Amino acid sequence: MTILRTELPAHEVTPRRLSRRPTGADRVFEWSATAVGATVLVITGGIGVFLAWQAVPTLKRFGFSFFTETSWEPEANVLGIGSVLVGTVSIAVVALVIAFPLALGTALYISEYAPLRFKATLVSLVDLMAAVPSIVYGLWGFFLVMPHAAAFAHWLHQHLGWIPIFAVEADADAAVWQSNRYVASAFCAGIAVAMMVLPMACAVMREVFAQTPPGEKEAALALGATRWGVIRAVVLPFGRGGIIGGTMLGLGRALGETIAVLLIISPAFDLKFRVLEVGTNSISALIAGRFGDASPAQLSALLAAGFVLFVITLVINTLAAIVVNRSRSGAGAEA
């Protein structure tokens, strides 16, 4: 068989023009995705602008003392979020201390130890925890967790009371200990919030662990490493960014929790760092509890507090997203 090849002269050969401009369904998808992303940014920016505008009268009236004043007495014209800022951070820190090891252990078990036939079920169960309403967690924490948490808080006070954060203004060695001094605290609220933070942190960690390059894991096994050795030498170093990012995302979630905290805590405006003692408050719980009967001046102060919480949460979530995105290197797929 003879194949005839015809070659054009060099001056008649023109390069083909390639265009990356989307057409048809690609163009519709690009426009739709752009519109959705822009809408989210506009809504988020609109919320921030609205809160900032509403906070202007309060900041002009009270100045920097609004952030340092610990009392909230509208009748006396004394308003400040110093104590609730401390309470917000205390509840969030307690929640992270409890949720972090649970989320990390759960993510490692699902990605590295769980049998394949159970892995999808475990992932669904953990993700379903995020769908439980916060009021359910609040009721669970108030009626079921709080009595046991109070007993554990009393035990911590007995043995670790010399540490300031575990101190309580009560006699830990009394024959009949005062249980009402250990309930409705930041510790009790933090336990409920920890269960709400766990699914988000676990999902981020699990996703990053699943992207660990299989070749590196197989190489470690070929060199004689145990399964825990592979996790310690390969999986954890690769997923360090995901661990940090998931924890920070959980922190942002814990800072803004409202209903569960409001149901559990006993509102107090004391500047204290004792997480086991009754009485605390958070910015979100303050807004939810005082919004209904607030005067115009108090409403502006509540919106100013909301603006502070908005900025803090936005900064934390942005940093977490940056850390998580930087950690996504390598190839791998979750079975």
The string of pLDDT tens digits covering residues 4-35 is: 555 656 556 666 676 677 666 777 888 888 89
Query: For the chain, what is the mean pLDDT?
Result: 85
pTM for the full predicted model = 0.85
Please tell me the class of the 44-327 domain. mainly alpha
Residue 265 has pLDDT above 50, yes or no: yes
Q: What is the mean pLDDT of residues 156-170?
A: 88
DSSP 173-224: T-SS--GGGSSSBHHHHHHHHHHHHHHHHHHHHHHHHHTS-HHHHHHHHHTT
Q: How many CA atoms lie within 13 A of 328 on its CB side?
A: 12
Distance CA 199, CA 246 (A): 10
Q: What is the mean pLDDT of residues 148-171?
A: 89
Residue 208 has pLDDT above 90, yes or no: no
In the prediction, which pLDDT does 329 show?
46
In the prediction, which pLDDT does 6 show?
57
Distance CA 319, CA 13 (A): 52
Bigger pLDDT: 6 or 97?
A: 97
Q: Are 58 and 79 in contact (CB under 8 A)?
A: yes
Q: How confident is the model at residue 130 (pLDDT cuts 50, 70, 90)?
A: confident
Q: What is the mean pLDDT of residues 42-55?
A: 91
Tokens (6 digits) for 37: 């992303």
CA dihedral 37, 39, 45, 49 (to 10 degrees): 180
| Residue for token pair 């009626």 | 143
Q: What is the mean pLDDT of residues 294-310?
A: 89
In the prediction, which pLDDT does 12 show?
60
Residue percentage of the chain with pLDDT more than 90: 32
Q: How confident is the model at residue 333 (pLDDT cuts 50, 70, 90)?
A: very low
Residue 334 has pLDDT above 60, yes or no: no
CA angle 291, 297, 303 (to 5 degrees): 50
Burial of 10-30, coded b for 16+ CB within 10 Å and e otherwise, reads: eeeeeeeeeeeeeeeeeeeee
Distance CA 58, CA 77 (A): 11
DSSP 42-108: HHHHHHHHHHHHHHHHHHHHHTTHHHH---EEGGGTEE--HHHHHHHHHHHHHHHHHHHHHHHHHHH
Q: What is the mean pLDDT of residues 177-204?
A: 91
Strand locations in the chain, DSSP E? 72-73, 78-79
Tokens (6 digits) for 236: 């954890």
Residue 169 has pLDDT above 80, yes or no: yes
Distance CA 261, CA 277 (A): 15
List the one residue out of 180, 169, 173 whose CA is nearest residue 155.
173
At position 103, the amino acid (one-letter code) is A
Task: Quick: pLDDT tens for 216-247.
Answer: 888 888 888 888 899 988 999 888 888 888 88
List the one residue out of 237, 250, 231 whose CA is nearest residue 190.
250
Q: Where are the domains of the chain?
A: 44-327
Highest mean pLDDT among 129-133, 169-173, 318-322: 129-133
Q: How confident is the model at residue 3 (pLDDT cuts 50, 70, 90)?
A: low
Residue 335 has pLDDT above 50, yes or no: no
Q: Are 54 and 300 in contact (CB under 8 A)?
A: yes
At position 56, the amino acid (one-letter code) is V
In the prediction, which pLDDT does 8 show?
56
Strand-pairing partners, residue 280, are: 267
Distance CA 236, CA 200 (A): 18
Q: Kindly tell me the number of DSSP H helices and DSSP E strands found in the chain.
A: 14, 2
